[in-house]
Amino acid sequence: MSKRALITGIAGQDGSYLTEYLLSLGYEVHGIVRRHSVAENQNHRLHKLNLNSNVHTYYGDLLDYPSLVRIISEVQPDEIYNLGAMSHVCISFDMPSFTIQTNALGVLNMLEVYRTTVPDAKFYQASSSEMFGNSVDEDGVQRLTTPMNPVSPYGCAKVMGYNLVRHYRHAYKLHACNGILFNHESPRRGSNFVTNKVVKGAVSIKKGLQDKLELGNMDSYRDWGHSKDYVRAMHMIVNHDEADEFIVATGQTHSVRDLCETVFGKLGMDYENYIVQNPKYMRPEELKYLKGDSSKSREILGWEPEYTFETMLEEMIERWEAEL
């Protein structure tokens, strides 16, 4: 009998890639979709997934407890992947209350329904490198032991969700895991995220569709990987014999300036001729530097990324060259 997985946020970048990966392993996949999830790419992602008879979607919301009870009771999943969230860090400054409710109380709702409905299932929580904020070890790396000092409503909410998962695991003996994923991108990333914003903007400029690209802080450093690599890690984490916390990261860091130089360079352009810094894209408190230590994931789980920074960007460029 096929394993059943339930994914919140199935319409998102990671949810769609995770669905495809689980289907390749023979899973039956069930997903929760918010009624107003109509952002760029989401309808296309869902349409493609729903063509498979082993994918089933349901309307629900992390803040609507009865819908979670109904869906989880009906599905009876073997594995739960809680990927649903208000996922844009910059927007979390504009919508702090909604962010805290969705990304913290939403996790609590999921854990409670999990505990009371399918306690023998395995639970994966999508935690984030944003939880570290500007904390970094002396060697310039964030580890599981690095203090968490978030600098955004998004990061604060993710810390609460992270700690709730740890609490429920210890208090109720549940197989509940945290994956602390550093930044991960793909052609399916929304173009309001800086990587895809830069790629889409550069291709648009190359094709004569726009003249300039407005960005915020050019000197923020991020550890960027590919979503396809990271969803494989999610499956490894939740299926490890012992529920635990794991960091998933490339161990390399690049600035937004590096990103622009690489993308524009691949298109034969000098980014300095086209980028305009706009203060409205600056965060009230900036997260300056992220570089993750994923040695535990590599040594215990055997996880290794297949994409490099450059091959990830090349795939994203190909998407926009074909679509614009």
Higher pLDDT pick, 41 / 156:
156
Q: State the span(s) of the chain assigned CATH 3.90.25.10.
A: 192-222+252-285+308-323
pLDDT of residue 50: 60
pLDDT above 90: residue 187 = yes
pLDDT of residue 44: 59
d(CA 292, CA 304): 14
From 37, 92, 128, 152, active-site residue: 128
Q: State the span(s) of the chain assigned CATH 3.40.50.720.
A: 4-184+224-248
Of 309, 282, 147, nearest to 215 by C-alpha is 282
**Do 131 and 162 touch, CB atoms closer than 8 A?**
yes
* Greatest C-alpha distance within the chain: 58
pLDDT of residue 38: 47
37: left (phi over 0), alpha (psi -120 to 50) or beta: beta
From 28, 79, 130, 185, active-site residue: 130
From 154, 271, 289, 307, active-site residue: 154
Least confident of 36-45, 47-56, 121-130, 178-187: 36-45
Of 253, 254, 274, 251, nearest to 264 by C-alpha is 274
pLDDT tens figures, 27-62: 999 999 987 644 555 555 666 666 678 999 999 999
pLDDT of residue 37: 47
pLDDT above 90: residue 284 = no
Least confident of 43-47, 190-194, 224-228: 43-47
Active site annotation includes 154: yes
User: What's the mean pLDDT when you consider all of the chain?
Assistant: 95
Active site annotation includes 128: yes
Average pLDDT for residues 87-109, to the nearest whole number? 95
Active site annotation includes 242: no
Structure tokens at 114: 């999990």
Average pLDDT for residues 149-175, to the nearest whole number? 98
Average pLDDT for residues 67-94, to the nearest whole number? 96
DSSP 8-state code for residue 279: G
pTM: 0.95
Question: Per CATH, is 192-222+252-285+308-323 categorized as 3.90.25.10?
Answer: yes
CB neighbours of residue 323 within 10 Å:
9
CATH of segment(s) 4-184+224-248 = 3.40.50.720
Burial class for 31, CB neighbours closer than 10 Å (0-12, 13-18, 19+): buried
Residue recorded with tokens 């904020």: 133
pLDDT of residue 53: 80
Integer Rg of the chain from CA: 19
pLDDT tens figures, 231-266: 999 999 999 999 999 999 999 999 999 999 999 999
